[in-house]
Amino acid sequence: MVLRQPKLACLALLGCWPTLASADGFAGQLGAIDTPSATPWAVDDVVMGLDLREEVRVLSFGFQATERLQLDFRFPTYDNGGPSRGSEFNLAFRLLNEGAYTPSLGFGLTGLGGDDRGAGEYIIAGKRIGSVDIAAGVGWGRYAGLTSGRRDPGAAEESLATGHLFSEDSAAFANMRWDTPVEGLALLAEYAETPLGAEDEVIAAGFSYQLAKGLTMTAFGTSDEQAGLRFSFVANPGDGYIPLHLDRGPFPYVRRSEASVPAASAASVLAILEERLGDEDIAVVRFAMSETAVDVMVRPPANTTLAQAAGRTARVLSAIAPTDVETFRISRPGTPFDSQVVVLDRAGLEAAHGGADAGTRAWEAASIASAPLAWPDSLKNPTFTPGFSYGFATSLKADFLTSDSLEPTGTLSLNGSYVFAKGTTVSGSLGYRFLNQWEQADPPAEPGIRSDLTSYTPDEIYLNALSLRHKFRLSPEVYSRVSVGYFERQYGGVSAEVLWRAPELDFALGFEATYVQKRAYEDWFGFEDADATTVIGSVYANIGERGDFVELDVGQYLAGDTGVGLTVGRNFPNGWRVSANTAWSADSDDTIKFGAQLRVPLGWTIPDASDRAVTIGIGGPSGDFASRVSGTGTLYDDIRSSDRQVIKGGWGQFWN
């Protein structure tokens, strides 16, 4: 697990994380103790859990993707019978909602992609009666006592086997949860016919208590003399987010027929616009006005969506722009690329304002356009000043899969960059491991791809990265990048990338080619006698209406192998991002590995936190195969925030 916490602000985040639910259940799934529950979390709930027992510990990451679908990744480590194969994927799906007199009905799959030690399937029905949740069902695999051996012998070990699903022996289970009158305290009980390899029926009981907002501890014991502790942490991106620096209400939208001011000059409009937007901490950095259009580039406060900034700007313009102006064009500056342009039809906004469907009709009055390759001279133009910036960051890593002590490794980084021009930057990073250094391993006879990381000097200040990047556009829809230098701790070289994105589409296409050499094990600037070339094509697709996205990478990776990387997730308008990833290589015989990542903007809970964020990563593809170079400065993260779907996803704030 990796936590990156700029300026140690993560401590404040942990103290302010709100929740609407608590999570129980082995491997992170909502349940009683070892059996699943029929009760879902709230939509968009993110749940992290740690289950501690005498013979097993499980780190888990769950997400309620829709009202009916719950996804979960678990990373178990067994202390007997051999190690786990790393990561497993679970899902639960509710087929029928609970009615006034009828129970809910659903099914679940656990342990997909693992070694079948914890794999199982179940069908479950549930009902809430007063403050008690009751569930009963039938299960296969681990729920019927099978805890070792492949349940689908005909499948290759590295494949995602499915031939064993809902087959072989089955067993019944039941559980209940009572939310007691004591705030935060719940009592748990369950019955399992043959759970986790037990020969006899098992009855279990326990309690859960909410220690703090979002943080719950569960303790339990079983009739077969097993006991354990579980800690779970729940958060929801939709809770706790308060737009910063926009404390006052927005200016009213004024129809042209209601305007009382005469037509004003461009200079007058600019002066009034700067004054009124300044009251909302929105800066005007570019302004142009023609007979029929006003073109404005604004810099809103951190964590303010482009949709809300456009709405606030349009409200002011509605009152001060000449009546002949039919179009408002609003954008936001960026480094290195400005955002796409939100083009608003003034007549459409007037028709939309005040209606019950004002948000929908305002979106119909909007379109998205690419920013021009070069902005024309305007009444006010943005200015660029070269500058140096620096900061400290910490990274904490804990090996929950193979380590017995669970001792975290801490790294302190000093990061700096100098921006020569809008798209040209020199950046570097020095690192030092200040907590639980590893013992340096002897360098291998032949340099490895990733598996030789512990051969690098761990106990002194080291050069993590030092590179020059130049980012520019070949056309309004084609972005490009050239990078050279030491990209990361293990590799340095040269990299080039092009990316195409059309404003009216919900996908982008990218292509990256990189040539690198293996960096020296004990020298800041030297190289080993080993090189590699990667050639990777990428598809970035936004799907649905909730901010969901898919990223697919295909090509030649560092080991010279042909591989596929897949990331799926959800972007939230307030800067949250939840994602899961996996990778496959034609040359690897490992089982499929899953990983999950959570990005939480500090502005979600901490005033004036700018655009800093805490990133938590759990598991993920590792090893020599399907591995690519990091730190080259890939382009899509620079333009993601102004994708058409991202703008539309935040459109609910347009009139706010």
44-83 pLDDT, tens digit per residue, is 999 888 888 877 778 888 899 999 999 988 877 766 554 4
The two structure tokens encoding residue 315: 């409200």
> Within 10 Å of residue 407's Cβ, how many Cβ atoms?
11
- Can you give the pLDDT at residue 6? 37
Q: If 0-12 CB within 10 Å is exposed, 13-18 middle and 19+ buried, where does residue 478 land?
A: middle
Spans of the chain below 50 pLDDT: 1-29, 82-83, 241-246, 609
523 backbone dihedrals φ, ψ, rounded to 5°: -135, 140
> Within 10 Å of residue 9's Cβ, how many Cβ atoms?
15
411 backbone dihedrals φ, ψ, rounded to 5°: -125, 135
The C-alpha atoms of residue 514 and residue 532 are separated, in whole angstroms, by 8
| DSSP tag of 250 | P
130 Cβ contact partners less than 8 Å away, ≥ 6 residues apart:
none
- Can you give the pLDDT at residue 202? 84
- Let me know: does 61 contact 598? Beta carbons within 8 Å: yes
- Can you give the pLDDT at residue 27? 39
371 backbone dihedrals φ, ψ, rounded to 5°: -65, 145
Strand partners, 368: 342
Residue 278 C-alpha from the chain's centroid: 32
How many angstroms separate the most distant Cα atoms in the chain?
Answer: 87
Distance (Å) of CA 571 to CA 66, 322, 410, 654: 14, 38, 28, 18
CA-based torsion, 316, 318, 319, 321: positive or negative: positive
The C-alpha atoms of residue 527 and residue 246 are separated, in whole angstroms, by 51
Residue of 26, 75, 30 lying closest to 53 (CA atoms): 26
251 Cβ contact partners less than 8 Å away, ≥ 6 residues apart:
276, 312, 315, 316, 319
The C-alpha atoms of residue 70 and residue 90 are separated, in whole angstroms, by 8
Q: DSSP of 149-204, one letter per residue? A: S-S-TTS-TTS---TTTT-S-EEEEEEEEEE-SSTTEEEEEEEESSGGG-SS-EEE
Residue of 504, 362, 531 lying closest to 446 (CA atoms): 531
The C-alpha atoms of residue 357 and residue 348 are separated, in whole angstroms, by 13
Residue 304: strand, helix, or coil: coil
- Let me know: does 31 contact 175? Beta carbons within 8 Å: yes
- Let me know: does 558 contact 587? Beta carbons within 8 Å: no
The two structure tokens encoding residue 255: 């129809």
The C-alpha atoms of residue 112 and residue 88 are separated, in whole angstroms, by 5
Strand partners, 536: 512, 555
The two structure tokens encoding residue 237: 């991106």
> Within 10 Å of residue 375's Cβ, how many Cβ atoms?
15
The C-alpha atoms of residue 500 and residue 46 are separated, in whole angstroms, by 32
12 backbone dihedrals φ, ψ, rounded to 5°: -70, -35
pTM (predicted TM-score): 0.84
The C-alpha atoms of residue 516 and residue 614 are separated, in whole angstroms, by 30
Residue of 25, 37, 70, 68 lying closest to 174 (CA atoms): 37
- Can you give the pLDDT at residue 401? 53
Residue of 231, 615, 161 lying closest to 400 (CA atoms): 231
Q: Which helix (H) or strand (E) holds 269?
A: helix 266-278
Residue of 234, 235, 232, 236 lying closest to 49 (CA atoms): 232
The two structure tokens encoding residue 453: 């990381």
| DSSP tag of 607 | T
144 backbone dihedrals φ, ψ, rounded to 5°: -115, 20
- Let me know: does 552 contact 536? Beta carbons within 8 Å: no
CA-based torsion, 633, 639, 643, 648: positive or negative: positive
Residue of 211, 246, 253, 244 lying closest to 229 (CA atoms): 211
Residue that the structure tokens 């030649």 belong to:
556
The C-alpha atoms of residue 192 and residue 81 are separated, in whole angstroms, by 23
Strand partners, 395: 4, 411
The C-alpha atoms of residue 63 and residue 600 are separated, in whole angstroms, by 14
The C-alpha atoms of residue 488 and residue 9 are separated, in whole angstroms, by 25
Q: Which amino acid, 113?
A: G
